[in-house]
Chains A and B, each alone.
Chain A
């Protein structure tokens, strides 16, 4: 039981980081990034290709994250421009559909060029006992990576001027603009950052299980579930929801079965929307 629980936390930290990237973009511009998982896979495949060309992981990982960030930034600077010109529901709908299209393009490209590619990062070392459970070094490094990235993001959003500007746009775009903040600049930077975060999640995942070139859609869906349960736009909510759902996922997969588990996670998202749309940390309706 403890082992399952700990595995759940490892997965949960990754899910949290995945959800944060999605929720930040939604909070800033109302764009539901349905290609978030594809950004992650794109980063993973770049890293996989580079390590196969005998490059060290220390060079390949930054390159992979940069690739994911550049694609995300490029999306923001091109196809998202007309979206930001719209307001309200029209903006949300167009943003969602365009990102769905972009995700399909990335998926199709990867399936065409690298149908059987996968990123698998093996970290050697003897298992380290945690609470009496021997944990693989890979899982521990993966968790540490997610925790460090999450903490860095927290510090960034809380204590830097740019982070404060980001949060103020999430609160009130018009108000932020009146204070001299340039929402479109912040959005672009955060879009790129969110792409890099997605790549980082892929790196962390690859330490515990292979990230295949076809994993994009399921990662996007997981990100969506986590962000919705955490409350769209809530960074801390996404992290809490990620850890919670990670535990739910492994416990349910271990005791009930995988296909029911998928339904449990999906139901969590649907029920959150229906009964508590602002997420687990937010107030009631």
Chain B
């Protein structure tokens, strides 16, 4: 593929380097952030939540960006991971790890099921959106109503990870950074595998993909299963880090809208878009922290402006700019 002088082995190494070096650079830069903020507990909370949202957004990117399924239940799937692991550990005495694993698996199964229903009934984006939104709101009502399990509005204390790294001040940041890096690597691995080829072909032209033998149902459901598992895992770890969860922790208004804005801002279907979107929105949130009452309105304005004028996102815009500059050089 590359210049004839390079041997296949070095060509492959260069290829791998090109594929994974953006992740390494991002990880290295993000690892430096706590140097500035490690004294402040409140700032650590802000950047940890930023990392958690980066993880949610990468997961959402696999579902929406890679296979075009409008899942309006990001928060609900993370919440299923969070509440399942919290209930199992807090109410049934399960240890930390099995609780998290079961929460992840349950989120994955439910996301996969939603995906399967949407694909097998060939729902378009809007109907998939409405069905998953209905699921989100049902989940919220269930969490609020099943007080004996979830604690209802007052929430639930989660103590299974007390006295571990997850509940210290600085270390959790690196746990969630590790999760983000793992998700980015997973995203790239999928992108470069035959699954990624299938994703791209069905995103570009579903009919053509189906005609050339791509099993559209199977790959959409794969994306649903993987993305939802990632959401469930991030949600479960977040619950154990916070040591307390309430319905608002994963509410539609608190998670889904933010994740959507982060992904669109960063760039749908790009590797680093979710991370850049999460960082940008976390900074915007911090700037707006003194205008708490205005925040919702400004969020709305950000959504409208983004979708009106900046639908491509930061990463794709920069990439095409870079290509243009290189062509001129």
Q: Which residues of A contact B (CB under 8 A)?
A: 32, 79, 82, 89, 92-94, 96-98, 100-109, 111-112, 217, 221, 224-225, 228, 257, 259-260, 262-263, 266-267, 269-270, 273-275, 277
B2 proximal to A (CB < 8 A): no
Q: Smallest distance from the beta carbon of A72 to chain B beta carbons, Å?
A: 15
How far, in whole Å, are A275 and B117 apart by their CA atoms in the complex?
10
Chain B, residues 238-269, CB within 8 Å of chain A (1/0): the string is 00000000000000010001001000000000
A96 and B129: CB pair below 8 A?
yes
Contacts of B307 in A (CB 8 A): 94, 97-98, 101
Query: CB within 8 Å of A: which of B96-144?
Result: 117, 121, 123-127, 129-131, 133-135, 137-138, 141-142, 144
B145 and A257: CB pair below 8 A?
yes
A89 and B121: CB pair below 8 A?
no
Q: Which of B77-85, B164-172, B180-188, B294-302 contacts A (4 or more CB under 8 A)?
A: B294-302
Q: Smallest distance from the beta carbon of B113 to chain A beta carbons, Å?
A: 12
Contacts of A106 in B (CB 8 A): 300
Contacts of A274 in B (CB 8 A): 117, 121, 123, 131
Q: Smallest distance from the beta carbon of B239 to chain A beta carbons, Å?
A: 22
Contacts of B302 in A (CB 8 A): 101
B145, B304, B311: which contacts A105 (Cβ < 8 A)?
B304
Chain B, residues 262-286, CB within 8 Å of chain A (1/0): the string is 0000000000000000000000000
Q: Which residues of B contact A (CB under 8 A)?
A: 70, 117, 121, 123-127, 129-131, 133-135, 137-138, 141-142, 144-145, 253, 257, 260, 293-304, 307-308, 311
Q: Can you name 22 A-B residue pairings with CB atoms under 8 Å?
A: A96-B126, A96-B129, A101-B300, A102-B300, A103-B300, A104-B296, A104-B299, A104-B303, A105-B300, A108-B299, A108-B300, A257-B145, A259-B141, A260-B141, A260-B145, A266-B134, A267-B134, A269-B130, A273-B130, A274-B121, A274-B123, A274-B131
B126 and A259: CB pair below 8 A?
no
Q: Smallest distance from the beta carbon of B235 to chain A beta carbons, Å?
A: 21
Contacts of A267 in B (CB 8 A): 134, 138
A269 and B125: CB pair below 8 A?
no
Give the interface centre of B70, B121, B123, B297 by most chain A CB atoms within 10 Å: B297
B137 and A273: CB pair below 8 A?
no
How far, in whole Å, are A102 and B299 apart by their CA atoms in the complex?
10
- Determine the residue in chain B with the shortest Cβ distance to A32: B126
B interface SS class: helix
Contacts of B301 in A (CB 8 A): 101, 105
The 6 closest A-B pairs by CB, nearest first: A108-B297, A108-B296, A101-B303, A104-B300, A259-B145, A105-B300
How far, in whole Å, are A224 and B136 apart by their CA atoms in the complex?
14
Contacts of A109 in B (CB 8 A): 297
A82, A92, A112, A273: which contacts B125 (Cβ < 8 A)?
A92
The answer to whether A108 and B308 touch (CB under 8 A), given A93-B125, A101-B300, A259-B145, is: no
Contacts of A275 in B (CB 8 A): 121
Contacts of B123 in A (CB 8 A): 273-274, 277
Q: Smallest distance from the beta carbon of B134 to chain A beta carbons, Å?
A: 4
Q: Smallest distance from the beta carbon of A277 to chain B beta carbons, Å?
A: 7
The answer to whether A105 and B297 touch (CB under 8 A), given A96-B129, A274-B121, A277-B127, is: yes
Contacts of B145 in A (CB 8 A): 257, 259-260
How far, in whole Å, are A273 and B304 apart by their CA atoms in the complex?
28
- Determine the residue in chain A with the shortest Cβ distance to B123: A273
A259 and B144: CB pair below 8 A?
yes
Given contacts A108-B297, A259-B141, 7 further A-B contacts (CB under 8 A): A105-B300, A108-B294, A108-B296, A108-B299, A228-B130, A266-B135, A274-B117
Give the interface centre of B70, B124, B135, B303 by most chain A CB atoms within 10 Å: B303
Q: Smallest distance from the beta carbon of A86 to chain B beta carbons, Å?
A: 10
Contacts of A273 in B (CB 8 A): 121, 123, 127, 130-131
How far, in whole Å, are A273 and B253 apart by their CA atoms in the complex?
23
B141 and A262: CB pair below 8 A?
yes
A107 and B296: CB pair below 8 A?
yes
B304 and A101: CB pair below 8 A?
yes
A266 and B138: CB pair below 8 A?
yes
Contacts of A112 in B (CB 8 A): 293-294, 296-297
Contacts of A221 in B (CB 8 A): 133, 137
- Determine the residue in chain A with the shortest Cβ distance to B260: A97
B125 and A89: CB pair below 8 A?
yes
How far, in whole Å, are A262 and B138 apart by their CA atoms in the complex?
7
- Determine the residue in chain A with the shortest Cβ distance to B309: A82
How far, in whole Å, are A206 and B141 apart by their CA atoms in the complex?
24
Contacts of A104 in B (CB 8 A): 257, 296-297, 299-300, 303
How far, in whole Å, are A260 and B300 apart by their CA atoms in the complex?
30
Contacts of A108 in B (CB 8 A): 294-300
The answer to whether A269 and B134 touch (CB under 8 A), given A93-B70, A101-B303, is: yes
